[in-house]
Amino acid sequence: MIIYGKNAITESLRANKAVFNLYVLESFENKPSEILSLAHKQHIKVSFVDKNKLFELCKSNHHQGYVAEMEDYKYCEVEDIFELAKQKGEQPFIVMLDGVEDPHNLGSILRVCECAGVHGVIIPKFRACPINETVAKTSAGALTHILISRVSNLNNTIQKLKKLGVWVFAVELGGTDLYKQNLQGDLCLVIGSEGDGIAPLVKKNCDGVLTLPLFGQVNSLNASVACGIAVFEAVRQRRK
């Protein structure tokens, strides 16, 4: 997988992820940087190249002078998310995504979830964006630090979570006011896409629907914004 941008590469190197090759803008060769220092310590091959080569590698001008080749992202199992929560001595806090196909939205959601201390994110194998270069860049390094499980069937996974004692709530219009719902305890919040929202059967399988109160003329929010509001309301309650 190709990743690019200072934050994404720095966090990957800090986490000792398998970076095979690092390509750096030639004008940076004699400038001290944490990326070059980490690459040197980890014995990673560094090539100083021109901006055309960097664009050729990542197909973007937003590389900030750094592009890296690394191992493909490794998804985890749902059980790994529960194990992480157990290791931290915390109640499981999970976000499930249904139909989020835009890589920028997915990257932003992962950044929100990592900052909020979410133990893991569950995404479907189909009708959804996989982890790719754009997701890595948009997550600003968060991708390195959060568990992501990719499952074949969200409905089966919801049933599995509920059997394990997790309360699963869809975040969408037409439900209970988010701020009136108890979000403490074992929790999974389901976020849908802006266009289609959450699939009817997925919503039906949830324990309830939570709605963000809106007071303007527009009746919807970007998926990553809605996720951020819901997740940090849960954080607020869970810190009491």
Taking phi over 0 as left and psi of -120 to 50 as alpha, with beta for the rest, 221 belongs to: beta
In SS3 terms, 44-81 reads as CEEEEECHHHHHHHHCCCCCCCEEEEECCCCCECHHHH
**1: pLDDT confidence band, cut at 50, 70 and 90?**
confident
- In percent, the amount of the chain with pLDDT more than 90 equals 67
pLDDT on residue 221: 83
**24: pLDDT confidence band, cut at 50, 70 and 90?**
very high
**66: pLDDT confidence band, cut at 50, 70 and 90?**
very high
Q: Indicate the pTM of the whole model.
A: 0.86
Distance CA 183, CA 156 (A): 22
pLDDT on residue 161: 98
**59: pLDDT confidence band, cut at 50, 70 and 90?**
confident
Q: What are the tens digits of pLDDT across the range 86-111?
A: 999 999 999 999 999 999 999 999 99
**Domains parsed from the chain with CATH numbers:** 2-70 (3.30.1330.30), 78-238 (3.40.1280.10)
Distance CA 226, CA 149 (A): 21
- The closest of 65, 2, 69 to 31, measured between CA atoms, is 65
pLDDT higher than 90, residue 116: yes
* Burial classification of residue 132, based on how many CB atoms lie within 10 Å of its CB (0-12 exposed, 13-18 middle, 19 or more buried): middle
**141: pLDDT confidence band, cut at 50, 70 and 90?**
confident
Compute the mean pLDDT over every residue in the chain, rounded to the nearest whole number.
Answer: 92
> Residue 125 carries which DSSP code?
S
Please state the rounded mean pLDDT for residues 44-65. 91
